Each structure stands twice: as C-alpha cells, then as structure tokens.
Amino acid sequence: MTTGHRITVEQGSEHVRVVHDGQVLADSRRPLLLRETGLPVRYYLPPDDVRTDLLTPSDTHTHCPFKGTASYWSLPEKPDLVWYYPDPKPEVAAIRDHLCFYEVETVTE
C-alpha cells in the first residue's frame, strides 16, 4: 500500500437496505464495512442478500491499485450502479464477490 493510504475491512452488524425507485435491491444484516483513506465507508453486501435477478452484468471494468479490478452490474435506467471485485488483492480478499452500491440507505435498529 502507498504510504498514508489505508484500507480496512471488518464485519458489520448494521442493517443495510438499498432502495431504488421504491424497489428493494438489497437487504442485509451481514455487510462488510470497507474503510479507505479519503473515502466514505462502503458497505459490501453478500450476493445472497442482493436481488441480482433485477440487475444486468455490465461490460464496464475499472482498476483500483489497492483493491484490484472491479466489475459492474446495472439497472436499465442506472448503468454501473453496483460494483464488485471477483478477484481482489490479497489485502482485501474478504470483499470477493460482495456487491457495493453507489446509492445506499442504511437502516439501524
């Protein structure tokens, strides 16, 4: 990792629900919390807690020097709304195949 850049991944217990246009896309009580220097906390959700049946794989791929190459999923009106790392760098291996949304409503109880 670059000097001063830090990433941590921890198991969270928050209730994370992702809603778009009134439709629940994900509902999880098992999020992984990824904290990265200079960025907001990101919630990576297990695929079993995401309505992947509503999403379409995208041809988009991006590369992060700290996490690896990301792949994306889309809704018809929201391209590349979700990303995941099928083969992340060893330092963040826990996020493998977990999905992260740009728009997240977090519910805590």
Domain locations along the chain: 7-107
Query: Closest Cα to residue 16, out of 44, 51, 54?
Result: 44
Query: Closest Cα to residue 89, out of 30, 36, 46, 24?
Result: 36
CA dist list (Å): 28 to 24, 34, 46: 11, 15, 8
Pick the CATH number of 7-107 from 1.50.40.10, 2.40.10.120, 3.40.50.10790, 2.170.150.40: 2.170.150.40
The amino acid at residue 21 is D
- The three-state secondary structure class of 51 is coil
**Model pTM score:** 0.90
Residues in the chain: 109
Q: What is the pLDDT of residue 1?
A: 46
CA dist list (Å): 6 to 15, 32, 54, 56: 25, 16, 34, 32
pLDDT tens per residue across all 109 residues of the chain? 456 889 999 999 999 999 988 899 999 999 999 999 999 999 999 999 999 999 999 999 999 999 999 999 999 989 999 999 999 999 999 999 999 998 766 665 5
Q: What is the pLDDT of residue 4?
A: 82
Q: What is the pLDDT of residue 99?
A: 98
